[in-house]
Chain A
């Protein structure tokens, strides 16, 4: 074999050549289907494209039968119709005043386990390019993270690297990191979760979509050069093509399968792309992420009205030894592909040159209906693009509620021994306050720039991040991400709804009105019917709850196979909610502000301890049923909070979630060192303090505002209980215990530095 190039002509002449489809992760019937689509065997380059585009990661083949129900939700928010929805790089919603917002959360779990810094960094980079590709300026990021136990050695390997990667990349892009989560649970040991969210802002008229239309339009690849990183499994093709025999020495060197990020290049790409948009030079655009050029070319061509021709020899390379298959599959970061009218090419290239960004015409839109790719003058790909991008396999994976679920639900935490003296209650509060999931996370969040761009109104540790969109009108958006995987383990339907409810509530406590949802569904293996049942139930729960709350799912991401051996992670449907506030100066923060204010608990407290942080920390217990979902109560609470914030009634607001009232009180006291004297109204102080009933919030207000607020709560149908008053520097729970601010602060803030250095 001299060149060994597997062209379309060779494939036609040599139809029975053995191909490594199994090594590339394809099933026999999938390979057969490719042959049927093409009417011949695929070339090795085509096989590379199909195998990566039909992978679980790109095709959602196990999940899409469940995801399609999100498309049945009304495609509108309380403000207006969605401008772009599921299937685009990210959903776009109208927030009024001519502005639109796009946001999305995605996973980068597996790479972050293999190489924590680069895995997390490129996770941020990928989601930012998705947002950019919609025509938006990225304005903020958030990172929901999950790790194994804080004291596990592997957590000390992955956590510092992941946090440094998120910070190293995001900080260098100049994007404020305004929130996120850090959750510890044994099931994430060996499978940490790195989810990354980005929010972008655009004017309505700036919306751009990923499509290649207009015969003769030029296809421009710009940004970083293409290298051999992130090509993973395709190396089997490379060795087939370029080596005479097994073990032959002429193949390309082994390269890391995790991509390496260059945030400086991404920063240039952002500014350059926004200038290209502003100059009106972009007819269609797509970022290069998973599956690289395979994905970008097939998706652009598939969404357009013609075909596309690409000359791979024109792709600028970092490594001249790359094969065509590798070039098509490379996941080198910081690249974008644009479709540009011929008359605009010169201006396009000039703007790229200004930003010192490499840009190269690599192809054009054709009048055919095929995606054709040439290498060294010979055709190596000739496929219907839709068959690559959208006609991948769909699996109806079997799913079944496992019988063990009954045993799990029967083992309620309400039956566990409880503290009952004041001293015991006090000790329990402190034990929870310093536990990994409830303690101060600033060891992590202080490594992120939260101030850059100058529009961050709220960031961690507040309930949601809030950024100003318009400096003159004060229009702003709030975002929160939440999920309690233990609730989802106990009942995936309710657990997904509780994740939505908490995120929705967190947006409302800042004073914003929740508008839309993006989700990142992290689960174990879809080949396990019990896991698939969790997934199906979570999707159903989320869809039903979105319908009831009137918020659409605008897009999201699915990550499966998150398990170590037989042990799947807790089902973790992370739900991001975005809300709008007409004037960010109304915003309310989450800590007590000054003594002498009235403390009010909103919502109803029931005896709900199963899946709670108390059961987890004190008893290492997971069983029973999660808190009851009450969506009408969530909606009423959110409406009351937004109205009260707008009317200037509140001085602070904090949602109640993990750790219940005890944790909310402690955090509110710690924030500004202002204490509170409260009286518990329930008969059982333990339930009052540690139950995790949903649809609750803690607010403070000046005493003279109380009658008006209580009247508003009554009208809204939200139970309001006056708990007490803010005071000097102590948290006093009348008749039971008191704790000084300093002890609360010290307990809360000591945990992560002690563990991580």
Chain B
């Protein structure tokens, strides 16, 4: 299974996402923001970082990159897409996911090992988890506070599209403790925490994040 990892100018966790794909048993394919070509990959990860420095609204410039035209088009056709942190912001800016991510309530960047509850296992990226399972993965962001209007939030909850929720404390002020959401179909997931930093006991807080990558590999087989 070939999973593309897009590098935008200012992407930082592309190397980590590619490593996570490999550790899960997939083949990682490097994709370049300036190329409107996904090279036939089966799924795409938009990694974390500070694309274009986040000088404008996070993700607001990257959504216009040539590669995103392809991502949006193929996501509509059901291709699995995972946006992590800055990638989540890009997905919101691209209107593949509802809501927005704004500055943390405490106005500071925070890097911590975060407890997260997997709320929905019906997405392409979470099928290997058990609903309600609590995992520890890295959270690191300055603008990770998820917001949307009440109606949208109610709809997300009602349709089972809240993918993950913070537990043991809300680190950034996200409404309803939301750490990740999906689109209606469940192929597009945006996640503020970084599962790619929790795939190796040696260099992260355990391997709880690997499930996101093994999930998509299974969904592609089936």
Interface residues, chain A, CB within 8 Å of chain B?
A: 164, 167-168, 171-174, 262-265, 267-268, 354-356, 446-457, 468, 471, 584-585, 587
Considering the complex, give the chain A residue whose CB is closest to the CB of B18: A454
* Assembled-state Cα–Cα distance A167/B111 (Å): 10
Considering the complex, give the chain A residue whose CB is closest to the CB of B19: A454
* Assembled-state Cα–Cα distance A167/B142 (Å): 10
* Assembled-state Cα–Cα distance A471/B9 (Å): 25
* Assembled-state Cα–Cα distance A356/B110 (Å): 30
Task: Known pairs A455-B203, A585-B202; list 10 more (Cβ under 8 Å).
Answer: A171-B50, A172-B53, A264-B54, A264-B55, A265-B53, A267-B9, A448-B109, A448-B111, A454-B19, A457-B203
Known: A174-B12, A584-B202. A454 touches B197 (CB 8 A): yes
Q: Shortest CB–CB separation between residue A521 and chain B, in angstroms? A: 31
Instruction: Enumerate chain B residues within 8 angstroms of A454, measured Cβ to Cβ.
Output: 15-16, 19, 196-197, 200, 203-204
Instruction: Enumerate chain A residues within 8 angstroms of B16, measured Cβ to Cβ.
Output: 451-454
Q: Name the 7 nearest CB pairs between A and B, nearest first.
A: A264-B53, A174-B12, A454-B16, A451-B197, A172-B50, A447-B109, A451-B138
Instruction: Enumerate chain B residues within 8 angstroms of A356, measured Cβ to Cβ.
Output: 9
Q: Do residues B108 and A451 form an inter-chain contact, with CB atoms below 8 A?
A: no
Instruction: Enumerate chain A residues within 8 angstroms of B196, measured Cβ to Cβ.
Output: 454
Known: A172-B50, A452-B16, A585-B202. A447 touches B110 (CB 8 A): yes
Q: Shortest CB–CB separation between residue B51 and chain A, in angstroms? A: 9
**Could you mark each residue 85-104 of chain B with 1 if its beta carbon is under 8 Å from any beta carbon of chain A, else 0?**
00000000000000000000
| Residue B194, interface by CB 8 Å | yes
Option from B109, B138, B204 in Cβ contact (under 8 Å) with A167: B109
Instruction: Enumerate chain A residues within 8 angstroms of B111, measured Cβ to Cβ.
Output: 446-451
* A-B pairs under 8 A by CB, number: 84
Instruction: Enumerate chain A residues within 8 angstroms of B52, measured Cβ to Cβ.
Output: 264
Instruction: Enumerate chain B residues within 8 angstroms of A452, measured Cβ to Cβ.
Output: 12-13, 16, 140, 197
Option from B9, B19, B138, B194 in Cβ contact (under 8 Å) with A268: B9
Q: Do residues B13 and A174 form an inter-chain contact, with CB atoms below 8 A?
A: yes
Q: Shortest CB–CB separation between residue A110 and chain B, in angstroms? A: 25
Known: A451-B197, A451-B204, A457-B203. A262 touches B13 (CB 8 A): no
Q: How large is the interface on B (under 10, 10 to 19, 20 to 34, 35 or more residues)?
A: 20 to 34
Instruction: Enumerate chain B residues within 8 angstroms of A168, measured Cβ to Cβ.
Output: 109
Instruction: Enumerate chain B residues within 8 angstroms of A265, measured Cβ to Cβ.
Output: 53
Q: Do residues A468 and B203 form an inter-chain contact, with CB atoms below 8 A?
A: yes
Q: Shortest CB–CB separation between residue A120 and chain B, in angstroms? A: 14
Known: A172-B10, A174-B49. A446 touches B204 (CB 8 A): no
Q: Do residues B194 and A451 form an inter-chain contact, with CB atoms below 8 A?
A: yes
| Residue B112, interface by CB 8 Å | yes
* Assembled-state Cα–Cα distance A471/B200 (Å): 11
* Assembled-state Cα–Cα distance A355/B19 (Å): 23
Considering the complex, give the chain A residue whose CB is closest to the CB of B196: A454
Chain B CB within 10 Å — which of A356, A446, A448 has the most?
Answer: A446
| Residue contacts A-B, CB under 8 angstroms, 6 given | A264-B50, A267-B53, A450-B111, A468-B202, A471-B19, A585-B202
* Assembled-state Cα–Cα distance A78/B16 (Å): 33
Considering the complex, give the chain A residue whose CB is closest to the CB of B52: A264
Q: Shortest CB–CB separation between residue A530 and chain B, in angstroms? A: 41
Considering the complex, give the chain A residue whose CB is closest to the CB of B205: A451
* Assembled-state Cα–Cα distance A173/B50 (Å): 8
Instruction: Enumerate chain A residues within 8 angstroms of B200, measured Cβ to Cβ.
Output: 454
Known: A446-B111, A451-B111. A267 touches B10 (CB 8 A): yes
* Assembled-state Cα–Cα distance A481/B34 (Å): 41
Instruction: Enumerate chain A residues within 8 angstroms of B53, measured Cβ to Cβ.
Output: 172, 262-265, 267
* Assembled-state Cα–Cα distance A479/B49 (Å): 25
Chain A CB within 10 Å — which of B50, B197, B203 has the most?
Answer: B203
* Assembled-state Cα–Cα distance A558/B12 (Å): 32
Known: A174-B49, A451-B197, A454-B204. A446 touches B112 (CB 8 A): yes
Q: Shortest CB–CB separation between residue A570 and chain B, in angstroms? A: 29
Instruction: Enumerate chain B residues within 8 angstroms of A471, measured Cβ to Cβ.
Output: 19
* Assembled-state Cα–Cα distance A435/B203 (Å): 31
Option from A264, A449, A584 in Cβ contact (under 8 Å) with B140: A449
Chain A CB within 10 Å — which of B50, B55, B108, B111 has the most?
Answer: B111
